[in-house]
């Protein structure tokens, strides 16, 4: 008898290029201290960072420049970054090595798996999702990471009154995010008119974003707070 296998819909496609020598070296030498291997066991955040502090989780940090800037600017906070592409993880580890930054930890795995299997309830103060793949073709919308189930997972790992900050430069995706979050009974929209907010100061402007702005692209920021229930 044949067994049917359900293929998981992924919100990403691995199209990463070759690792540079510096990225590979950083992965080899810095991963033991700053990397977090995937396993279906819950992470102890305080033990991971060797302290109790406000903890920020960024999903899909790209090349890590903005996450590194935030960690440098706020050494009193913990920063946990998830990025599935190894060159990005290697680049961030290289920045960590050069700067001596100690308040970042990195996962190089599918964020959905990490949230579902490694993150305890109410362990994160702030979740950031900046410029995720928009999957702009209609047939690919189901691949977008911002879906009801994902939002529920974010709410589960956030502490009561924790913040979920999203940003995108695709207006259609921005409307999709807004509708999905506004329809959640777990979050409160922090904008005055229940739509978008001005770019918060704590989100650095990336090179990618600056390039888009020169081309006339818009950017939409969303700020939601987990209900204190």
pTM comes to 0.90
Query: pLDDT, tens digit, for every residue of 190-200?
Result: 999 999 999 99
Mean confidence (pLDDT) of the chain: 90
Q: Is the pLDDT of residue 229 over 90?
A: no
Q: Is the pLDDT of residue 90 over 50?
A: yes
Any domain includes 9: no
Any domain includes 73: yes
Lowest-confidence segment of 76-90, 97-111, 196-210 by average pLDDT: 196-210
Q: How far apart are CA 186 and CA 148, in angstroms?
A: 11
Please report which confidence band the pLDDT of residue 139 belongs to, taking 50, 70 and 90 as the band edges. Answer: low
Would you say the C-alpha torsion 87, 89, 90, 96 has a positive or negative sign?
Answer: positive
For a pLDDT cut of 90, what percent of the chain falls above it?
A: 81
Q: Is the pLDDT of residue 160 over 80?
A: yes
The residues near 102 (Cβ < 8 Å, ≥ 6 apart) are: 75
Query: What pLDDT, on a 0 to 100 scale, did the predictor assign at position 11?
Result: 45
Please report which confidence band the pLDDT of residue 30 belongs to, taking 50, 70 and 90 as the band edges. Answer: very high
Query: What pLDDT, on a 0 to 100 scale, did the predictor assign at position 216?
Result: 84
Any domain includes 8: no
Read off the pLDDT of each residue in 42-68 and give the average, rounded to a whole number. 97
What's the total number of domains in the chain? 1
Residue from 213, 112, 99 nearest 153 by CA: 112
Any domain includes 208: yes
Please report which confidence band the pLDDT of residue 15 belongs to, taking 50, 70 and 90 as the band edges. Answer: low
Any domain includes 12: no
Read off the pLDDT of each residue in 220-226 and give the average, rounded to a whole number. 98
Q: How far apart are CA 151 and CA 64, in angstroms?
A: 23
Q: Is the pLDDT of residue 140 over 80?
A: no
The CATH number given to whatever domain includes residue 79 is 3.40.50.150
Read off the pLDDT of each residue in 92-105 and give the average, rounded to a whole number. 98
Annotated active-site residue 113? The verdict is: no
Any domain includes 3: no
Read off the pLDDT of each residue in 148-173 and give the average, rounded to a whole number. 96
Domain that holds residue 78: 21-226
Any domain includes 62: yes
- Continuous segment of H or E residues that includes residue 196: none
Q: What b-and-e string marks burial along 37-76, b requiring 16 or more CB atoms within 10 Å of the CB?
A: eeeeeebebeeebeeebebbbbbbbbbbbbbbbbbbeeee
Q: Is the pLDDT of residue 4 over 50?
A: no
Query: What pLDDT, on a 0 to 100 scale, did the predictor assign at position 209?
Result: 83
Any domain includes 161: yes
Query: What pLDDT, on a 0 to 100 scale, did the predictor assign at position 58?
Result: 98
Selected catalytic residue, list 65, 113, 133, 221: 133
SS3 75: coil
């Amino acid at each position: 008898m044949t067994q049917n296998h359900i293929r998981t819909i992924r919100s990403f496609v691995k199209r990463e290029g070759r690792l540079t020598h510096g990225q590979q070296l950083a992965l080899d030498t810095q991963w033991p201290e700053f990397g977090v291997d995937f396993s279906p066991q819950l992470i102890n955040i305080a033990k991971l960072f060797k302290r109790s502090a406000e903890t920020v989780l960024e999903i899909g940090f790209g090349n890590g420049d903005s996450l590194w800037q935030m960690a440098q600017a706020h050494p009193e906070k913990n920063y946990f970054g998830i990025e599935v592409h190894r060159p990005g993880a290697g680049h961030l580890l290289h920045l960590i090595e050069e700067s001596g930054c100690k308040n970042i930890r990195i996962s190089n795995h599918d964020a959905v798996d990490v949230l579902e299997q490694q993150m305890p309830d109410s362990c994160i103060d702030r979740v950031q999702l900046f410029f995720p793949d928009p999957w702009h073709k209609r047939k690919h919308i189901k691949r977008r990471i911002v879906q009801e189930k994902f939002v529920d997972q974010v709410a589960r790992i956030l502490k009561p009154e924790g913040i979920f900050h999203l940003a995108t430069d695709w207006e259609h995706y921005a409307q999709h995010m807004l509708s999905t979050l506004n329809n959640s009974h777990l979050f409160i929209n922090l904008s005055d008119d229940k739509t978008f907010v001005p770019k918060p100061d704590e989100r650095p402007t990336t090179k990618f974003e600056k390039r888009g702005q020169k081309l006339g692209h818009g950017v939409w920021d969303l700020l939601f707070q987990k209900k204190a229930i």
